[in-house]
Structures are given as structure tokens and as C-alpha cells.
Structure 1
Amino acid sequence: MVRNCAARPKASCLQTSRNWRIQRVVFQTAPILFFSMLISDLMNQREVAAWTYHFSTQVYSWNVSRAYCQKFYTDLVAIQNKNEIAYLNDVIPHHKTYYWIGIRKINNTWTWVGTKKILTKAAENWADNEPNNKRNNQDCVEIYIKSSTAPGKWNDEPCGKRKRALCYTASCHDMSCYSQGECIETIGNYTCSCYPGFYGPECEYVSECGALDIPQHGLMNCSHPLGDFSFNSQCSFQCTEGYMLKGPSKLQCLASGHWTNKPPQCVAITCDPMERPVHGNMDCSSSLQGFQYGSSCSFSCAEGFLLRGAETAWCSDKGQWTAPAPVCEALRCQDLPAPNKAQMNCSHVHGTFRYQSACSFTCDEGSLLVGASMLQCLATGHWSAMPPECQEVTCTPLLSPQNGMVTCFQPLGSSSYKTTCQFRCEKGFSLSGPERLDCTSSGHWTGSSPTCEATRCPELFPPEGGTMDCLDILGEFHAGSACHFSCSKDFKLQGSTDVECTTSGKWTAPPPSCEAISPALPSEVRCPALIPPEHGTMSCTHHLGAFGLNTTCYFGCNVGFTLTRASRLQCRPSGQWTAVAPACRAVRCTELHIVMPIVVNCSNPWGNLSYGSTCTFHCPEGQLLNGSARTACQENGHWSNTVPTCQAGPLTIQEALTYFGGAVASTTGLLMGGTLLALLRRRCRQKDDGKNLLNPPSHLGTHGVFTNTAFDSGP
């Protein structure tokens, strides 16, 4: 047998020889002793490197053995016939571990690694009951050199075992056979098997085809990589203006010495008539003789239709239009998936989801349609709005008011829709706000959460001719407040000196009075001058001079502010007003209930969370705001908007635009931002039940509340 090596690396060339001598060599590049066998019979007249066998004196794994052979020789030996096996068994010394050869299981197939060829049945030389793939890891092969029971036979072994490496060096070289044939190893020499199109002992000659004539009215362009009109020569043809080829446009010289076809001819050309596309227009420049070479037609489509094909076609010198007749196809919008828990009903005029298609959407009870309820495929190829979605109605969880509790009933399970919450306060506190809140289909509660305010007793005033000092624990005249009364000089106290506000909202005793011992004359009585309260008004009627006896002053507050004391004061004979002058305090809104990780920033011009306070909300990077980004404390004590929540893991704008038909190129598409944001909420709902009340300011960069202390010094 012979082995081919020209079109492969040297490592793939194998050949046995008859006469060998053993030579011991020590390589300076590796501290390993090895033996080599050199072919002594060189049959070729030219000098070539003879085929040799080699083996290591050390033992290695299969992979190390192959690296060793590739470093110092060609590769692990590849055996080609039984005679070679007999020769190796005869000249190679016996070793207890035996020798690795160049065959391995690759993709469950035994393959010669040097030639990358699959082992054939005819070349197999397995020992009895081999290969057995014991333990399913025997992927490499050893040869039993001088085995007493199976000399020269093969056995599959685990590749990690250590054995001697049996190597070879090939005779063929890179330029053998002029690289125009396959180098075939023979005993001490090589021969050439020429590729098609080449011949000669060294494949040095190339086959030739006859010369070609240039066709009339035509041009010929040829390339001759191996000689004029020789094997692999190629000639291309084209005709002058007004003519077209009849026959092949390209010829090639084959290995047989014949051209692939007969040369073509050049004939005068005309084109077939062009038809106007449906839903479109066509404008042509043609002669009386019809659509000849050089004629052109331009095409356009009606609004809402896209030209599929070339806008302009010319009758070319090949007798064909430069492009086929185009068609006007209705623009197609992105397919619309039916939203979850929603019904979609579509009508199609020019085809499914094409121009003028319209789709309407409705949601089941307990779900809220977010987005447009009707979408139409526009002439731009985009929908009139982003597809809506049906979201389960979700109201923000309610917290128990301070000094109170809340009890909720949720009839629809996971959906907040139709949830009812009842509020009540502890003893000594009364409910300020609605007693019951319901979650509506819009995802909002029917009102703001109430608060539990300490029970208040009727407002007290200093007695005429006396003073009143009060200790308020929870606020003015709330349960637990205590007031002490005393009279001025020339006045005597009538009644209890001290009173206390009980949890029932009543004082422990009626307020006392001060009786004058020697009253002053009315014309001599003067009370301290009063000024209008900040954020309020004052109107007085004077009887006996400015702020004299019986002068009466009335007080009021601007919108968003309430009086802290009596709205009417009168000057008494004692020269004291019937009560302390009132102040206007900003109406206070309920505390905001924040759900982590939302971040809040508030400004408070007239007191913390009072009328005029505004709060803005935003979410950490990568999350979307579900609800309004701003709320304000109104004059009625309610916030203008409920607190939003953060939703994690949204689609990016680019993802949404790609999913629903690509980047929006029209003004209509750019106005769909709100609807797009609603769609982006679909990815993931915030599940964190952590809660944070809007109380102290937080540090910048943390979740919580930011306040502007410059405006927190209100009354």
C-alpha cells in the first residue's frame, strides 16, 4: 500500500520500508534518550528525506506522547498494512507498558490523528475482544510489541495511562509534485498522482484548450492563470450597446482540454412590455417600436402602500429590464399580541395587520386597560398607539393610622379591586377623615387615609380681668390638656382654679370668671392694639376710641389656612381681650405612606406637609414609576395625587420599539410616550412590602424623604 501526502501536512505522510538500521541519538533540546530507525534504501534518484520510525525511552500519557512526536518528528505513527505491523513488531524492542500509536476515538469514531482519516475495517488489527471500552473511557490505542499472546495487535486504553511514544518522520515535502499533485510515499521514495488538468512525472505540465474567437458586436475578456487558453483559463463575453448575448456569458477551459460550451453570439435586443402596478402609477419613455434597449419606466404607489421592487427599470443591453415590474403592497404593521386577560377584535382591509387595519381592546372585570382602546395601522406602517395591556387593579396598600387600626376585606384575592378597608381609633382619639375606603376600578382609593386625632374639648378663653395658662400634651385643648386660671388686681376669681380635658371631650369643670372689685370708667378702658395675623385678615369696630371698651375685632384666614383660636375678640372693662389673638396656620395634609424603594423630595413653605407643600417622586435606576411623579397638599387638606410605586425590570425603549414594529419614525409615534411607559410596567411588579412613613429627612442618595428645611419653619 502507498499513502498520499501532498495536500496534507507532513504529519499525515506514512510509509513502511524494508531495510532499517537502529541508531541511538541524544537531542540537546530534550533530556530524553530515544531510538530512531532510518530508511537505508533510497530508491528515488533525487535526494529526499527517508521515512523513519522513532520511539521514546520514557513513558507518557497519549497527549504528551503525541506532543513529543510532533516536537521532534512528524507525529505518532499511523499504520497502513499488516506488513508494517509485522516489521514494527520485529524491530521495536519489547516494553512492559507497550507503545502508543496515532489512532484515537474522535466523536465516537476511531480516527488516525495524523491523516484525520477514519479507520477502515480492512485496516483493523484489534486483539481478541478488543476494543472493549472498559469503564467507558478507553479512547486511545496501544500496540502489543512482542507480546507473547497477541504480537502486533491493538488494544484500546485510557488516554491518561503512561506508555512509550511510537513516532514517524515522513519523506514527502511541501513542494513535492510542484504542488499540482498528491505526493505518494513509496519505499525510500515518492511518486506523484497528478490533479485533474496536470500531467508529467512531477505534474509539471498543464492541459490546453484551443483559442477562442471574439463574437461579432461583442467583447471578450480572458484570464490565463496557467498559460494561454490552458486549464482553468476563463473567458467572459459581453456585447456592445444595443446587443445582447445569445449563449453563455462565461467559458472555462476544463481539465479534459475542452471549453465548457460553445462561444456565444451578440443579437439585437428588445424588452417585453412593462405593466402598471395595482395601487400605483407608471411613467415610461419608449419609442414607436416598443420597449427597446435604453427605454425606462418609473413607478410610484398610493399613500399607505409600499413599492416592492425598483422605483425605476431600464431595458438593458441583455434584453431584460434591469428589474422586474414592482408591486404596491399595503404597509404592514407589527403583529399585535392579544393582551393578557383582554379581548382583541380586528378588521383587515388590505391584509392581516396591514394599512387601514383596526383593532379594538377590552379588559375583563377587575383589570384596567392601560393605553389606547383602539389602534389603527397608519400609512407610516406604524400603529396609531402602542398596544395596551390589561393590568390587575392594584391600589396602594393602606397603613393603620397612628393610634388606630385598619381592617380590610379583599373579595377577589390577588386583585385589589373591590377591596374595602374600615378604620377606627383607640380610646381618647377620634377619626379625622373617611371611616371607610374602597378600591375602585381605576386603581385608586375613594379617598385619602384618615388620621386619629386626640379628642378635643371646647375652646377656653381667659376670663375678663384674668389670665389662663394651659399645659397641652397632644395639642391645644386635646384630651389631657390642663388649664389654670387667675385674676388680675382688683378682680376676684369665681369658679374652679384648674380644669382638665377628659377623653370624653368635656372639661372637668366650667371655666371660671373674674369679678371686678372697683370697676374703672368705660372711657378709661383700653385694650392692647391688635394686628392682622400672617396669612389672614382682621376687621374691627371701635366704640370708645381705638381698641377701647367693647371694641370688637373679627379674624379670617387666606385660602389654605385655618384659625388656631377664636375668630372674634372683644375688649373687656378689665382692659383685656376676651381671648388671645388667633393665628393662621396652614392646613395640614395626612402623612404620605411610602413603599420602598421609592425616593421622595419635598418642599414645605408653610410647615411640614402643610398647604403648599409639594413632593416629587422617583425610582432607583432600572425601575419605573407607577403613578404620578408629583403631588401637592391642597387647601382641603388632601393630596392632589396618591403616592406612586416603583416597578422593577422594565423593557427598554429600544426593546419596546423593536418588539412593536421598530423605531417610531413619525410624529404620531413620538406622541405615544405615555402609552409606552404604561406598557413598560408590564415586565415586573414591585413585591416589596416594606413601608416607610414620610417623617424625618433622609440622607441624599438613600431611599426615603428629602425635605427643604429652609421652608419648614411655619407656624
Structure 2
Amino acid sequence: VGTWVEVGAWTYHYSDRGDYTWEQARNYCQTFFTDLVAIQNKWEIEYLNKSLPFHGRYYWIGIRKLSGTWTWVGTRKALTKEAENWAAGEPNNRRSNQDCVEIYIQRHQESGKWNDEPCSRKKKALCYQASCQPFPCSQHGECVETIGSYRCECHPGFYGPECENVVQCAELEPKGARMNCSHPYGDFSYNSTCMFGCQEGFERRGVGTLRCLASQQWSADTPTCTAVACPVLSVPDQGELNCSHLHGDFAFGSICAFSCQTGFMLMGPESRECTAMGTWTGDTARCEAITCPVLSAPDQGELNCSHLHGDFAFGSTCAFSCQTGFALTGPESRECTAMGTWTGDSPRCEAITCPVLSAPVRGQLNCSHLHGDFTFSSTCAFSCQTGFALTGTESRECTAMGTWTGDSPQCKAIACPVLSAPDRGELNCSHLHGDFAFGSTCTFSCQTGFELMGPESRECTAMGTWTGDAPRCEAITCPVLSPPDQGELNCSHLHGDFAFGSTCAFSCQTGFMLMGPESRKCTAMGTWMGDSPRCEAITCPVLSPPDQGELNCSHLHGDFAFGSTCAFSCQTGFMLMGPESRKCTAMGTWMGDSPRCEAITCPVLSAPDWGELNCSHLHGDFAFGSTCAFSCQTGFALTGPESRECTAMGTWTGDIPQCEAISCPVLDPPSRGQLSCSHMHGNFTYNSTCTFSCEEGFVRMGAEVLQCVATGNWTRLPPVCAEDSAPFLKQVLAYSSGTALAVAGIMLSGMLIALLAKRLSNREEKKKLLNPTSDLGSPGIFTNAAYDANL
């Protein structure tokens, strides 16, 4: 698996067959040994630096940065400053997460020192194999590796070679207290913990928790429980105290009962108990003299009391008396009993009374009573209701003799002026206290069609005047009518302008028709009978624009109504037939007839001689928009425009076209011959026919008759006239064809024949002469120019 070096029972190992990342290296060490090496002292570093071979990538050791702290991974303990063995300037991290540590072995500088490196780099794994067992020292101590063996450093509270023994403390036996213990290593042994508590009402003396220490001693003395004490109670004044004690005088559980002497009442609880908190239930009890309600002197009287045990309490006595002019009703004295009540009833001082007074009819009585209704010193003032006047004394007083001063007064109603009914109206009055006196009310009403102007009723006031002004009856008005638009209004009024009884007649101006009632009457309700009439313009039938035309109307009184005027126009190329405008009359008819738009016409066109005419008409024969196309028969060519269009001006575009016969080249009679032609359409034009003949002694060589065709060419080349006894020329003419005929037939003189014979002796010259594509001219075309060029 690897190589190793031994130090006593502790052995070191390293991977000699490969390099690993830090994680792979640790996995390697944990698989075959204990872990990555955990270096404990300088001696180990010196030993490893001397014993291990040099490796260029060095060795991984068991230190890694965990949560930012350099940690021995085997023990999970942080690396202390004292144990650090970093090379100079290390760790520097170099910003590349260098979280693992290598050791320099046999490096030429700082050998044996540490350096932080990225955990992903590959190095040798430096492992150790521990001699301690997986669970050494009975798990109660630290296994310390020694050279050749190990020893147990026992945790506190444990002893023995393998820390197998635990320290024992004395067994606890508390008195009067409850104990609850936990024994992690055996009864009453090291780290046993006992908690002590007391019953309710008892308190602990000493600490509440004891722990068995490594010194075999308990952490404190065993506590005890004693009853909770309450404060000593005393007997209340005028009372008694009776107590029972369970756990000691005035301690938890003691109960004390309270009572009071006759005439005294216990204030507070009848008994109190000493609680577990060391306090008595309830408040302090006391005996207070039973009290009677506080007495006060009667009105207009006096009170004189003597108190033994407190104000108005048991044993108090009170005497009563009245002031001059008042008599005592009830006992002269009262005593407060043990029951908290006074003997006898409450006395009172009552004033001397006078006879009861009543208010006069239609009057009021206002009395002030000092000592009771209608009693001595009572004063009564008299007044009359609104609208009434007092007759007699204004006030009376009750004297000490029980009689009133003065006589009884009276109230009489105040009078107003007599009222009368308004014109066209009625008066209805009700009188409460006499005709047209205070309280009388008069209501006013009007006849049908009339409306009351002013108050509907008037009342006689306390001032002797009537409320409001005198009313009057006026005719009910209807809203003012106005004549309808384009109409007139004629009204007759009986009781005022546009009032009840008014009648209005309506009429309309010429050209307008009344819509609604011809007349309306103002009713008693202030409304007009019927609906409002209106004058509407008489309408004419709706007009539409003529075909190919437009309509432009102006309306005075509504669309196509009386007064409307409509103007007519036509589109370009069309002419209006009929009136230019029409007006709607008062009769509901339009003036004039309906106009129409007719297309402007051009002169009728005819086909040219030897030609054809093809026309398309949009708006009528040879009218605006018509288009005519011209063409010619075979053998004729068109001169002028191919088509003409009828414009809005009534003229045709372009000039009149013609068909002219196609011309062929002019023919001349052959030498020693004659030419006779017939022309149908002009000299040497289409369908012209020419006949050739030769003089006596000459023979025609070529076609006898030529005709001018539609392409502008002759059907054959013109013939030539040759001597009949010219065998050489015959030979030449027999040999030649096409263009050579034109050359051979130029001249038949002996000199030309001799020249031709000389040229034909040269074979190449002969071919050139007879070649149809030679420079003598195009085949089928005979011209004087070609003839002149070959002379």
C-alpha cells in the first residue's frame, strides 16, 4: 500500500505510488491507516524531514481551513498560535482558496515548514497509524501516544490504568426534604446530581442542588426544610382572638379567628390563615363601633349630639329643635342602637301653610316657595297669557298667620279691528275669546281662477293687531306665450295679460304649416290647454344628384323644405340638360324640371379606306370617354395615330389616320426588252403586276411576271434579255443562279462577254461571282445601285 517509518508504537506512512488531491489523500489515509498526520511537536517535524524522501510536490498533512479557521481535521480542534509552523509569509492564500496545508520535506529552504495550497492540487499523502484503540481509556480519559505504547490521562472523577474506576461520594439521607438524584456513572458517584425541594409551606435551608465532585465530597451540605413563619397577630380593640397552630406559633398552617364585643362590628375577615408565602390571608381585622346613618338637623331646625365610640356610632344620642316659626314633627331625641339604627323616626320642622292658590283663567301663577308649597314666606306672582291683560294685584305673599296678602286678580282678552273679505274673495273667522279679539283667526279664499296674494290667514295678536297685510285676490296667470317661429300670436285677455280666461290663437307665415292646436286657453290651474304649437316649413320631395352630376343645396328652414335651393352641376365631360338650380316653393313642389347630365359628343368616326375601325363607348356612341382603335388590311400600313379618344371638349385626340399601300422597289425594263405593269393602289405598290418581254433575237432569262407582295418585295428577281446564239452565256446562265443572273444580264455586248469569259477562267473568281452571298447584293432585291456598282 505504501512505505512506512516507525517511531516506537506510532508509525508514519506515505503514498509512494501516486499523488492525490487533499480529499483523496485523506481518504487514502483513513482507508489504510488512521488519518493524515497530526504533528504534535518539533521533534516529529525533524524526524519526518530526515526520514521521508524528497518529492517535488511535497506532502499533504491533516490541517485544513474550516469556516475560516485552520483546524486539525482528526480532532476538529483549532490550530493554536503555539503549534503553528508556517513558512515565512505563509499562509498567503493568493486569492485562490488555498484551504489545505502541505509540509516542505528536504526543501533547500525552510525545510519542514508549512504552506497553504489549493486542495485540488495533487501531492503525496502523509499518514499515521495510531497505537491507541478505537475506544481507549474506558472512554473516560484521553489516550496519549507514547513511544512504544500509550497512557491514559483520566478525566476528573475517574482513576485506574484504563480510567475504569469512578470516584464515590457519601450516600445522602435528607431530613424533611424531598430529593431527586441523577447518577450518570453509578449511585452517589462522580457527577451524580441531587436536587432538593420542600413541601408547600416549608422553605429550604441550604443550597438546592448538590453534585458529587472529583474530590469525593459533595459540593455543599445537605439542606433542611422548616415551616414558613408569618407575623404574630394581636387582639383587635373591643374584640377577641382565637388561634390553632399546626407547625408552630403563627407559622404555615396556623388559623386565627376574630370576634367583636356587642355593639361593635368586625371589619375585615373573620379568620386569617398563614400561607406558604409567609403572609396572612385577608387584611388586618378590627372592631369598629356599629355606625348609624349620619343625622343632620332638619330644615329650619337644629341638632345637638353626644358620641361615646365615634361620630353617630353605637351609644351616640342626638336632640332636635326648630327655629322660630317652624314646628317640630317627630321625636325630640334619637339614640344609636347596637343594630346600627336610630330609635324613633326622623323629625322635621315644617313651616306654617296658607291656602293653595290657583292661576286666574287665561293667566299664570308663578310662586317661589322657601319652606314648602304655599307655606310661610311663599310669594306668588300673577300674569296673563299672551293676549290677555291683568286686572287686580300682580303678587301675593303667605304671612306667618297662614293668610295671603291682597285679592285674587283676573285676565281679559285684548281686541283687534274688525276685518272684511277681499274683492272676488271670502272671509271665514273663528273667535276664541270674543269677536275679533286676541286668538281670533280669519282665513281668506278666492273664487275659482283667482289666486290669493298675501297671507291665507290672519290672527289677532297680543298687541291688538292682525298678523300680516290685508290679502287680495288676483287672477291666476299662465306662462307668457310667444308666437312660434315663422308664426303669429293673437290673444284676448279678460282678467289681465296671459291670466285666467285669456285665449290665444296661432297662425303661420306663408310656406309654413301649423303643427298643434290653433288656439289655447289659460285655465284656473295656471296652465294652458293643449301643447305648444309650432310652424314647420312645408317640405318638398328629397332631391338626388343626376347621374354623372352633383347636387349642392342650401337649406333655410330644414332639409329640402320651403326656401331650400339646390344647384346642379355635371362632372367633366358631361353637359347639364335642364335648369341649373331648383327652389322649394310654399306649395311643397320644386320649381322647374329635373335636370340630367349627358355626355359631350364628338363627330362620328369612320374607318379609313382599306382599313378597319373598332370603338368602345363608355357614355354613348362617339361621346366623352369613347376610344376608337384603327387598323389596316393586309398590304397596307397605318399612317397616323393607332387610336383616338373623345375628350371633354367634344374633339378627338390626334389626326385622322390613313391606310397606304406598301411600296415595292421601282422596276425598269430590261436591256433589249420591255416592261408592262398594272397598278391597283399606286405605282409599284402592293398587288402591282409587271410583265417582262425581250426584243426579237433575244431570249428572256428569268420570270416573266413579278408581283408586289405585302412584305414590300417582288415575288421574283427581274429577268434579263440575252442573245439567242450565245452558248457561252447560256452556259454561264445555266451554271449560275440567284444573284449571278443579275450580273450576267447586265450587258450582252461582245466586250462584256469577253470580259466575263476571262474572269470565269479563274475558278476562284468564278465561284465568287456566282456565290449568292457575294458583294453583288441581297437575293431577291434588284436595284439600279447594284447594277451601277458592277459595271
TM-score, normalised to structure 1's length? 0.34
Higher RCO (C-alpha 8 Å, min separation 6): 1
TM-score scaled to structure 2, two decimals?
Answer: 0.31
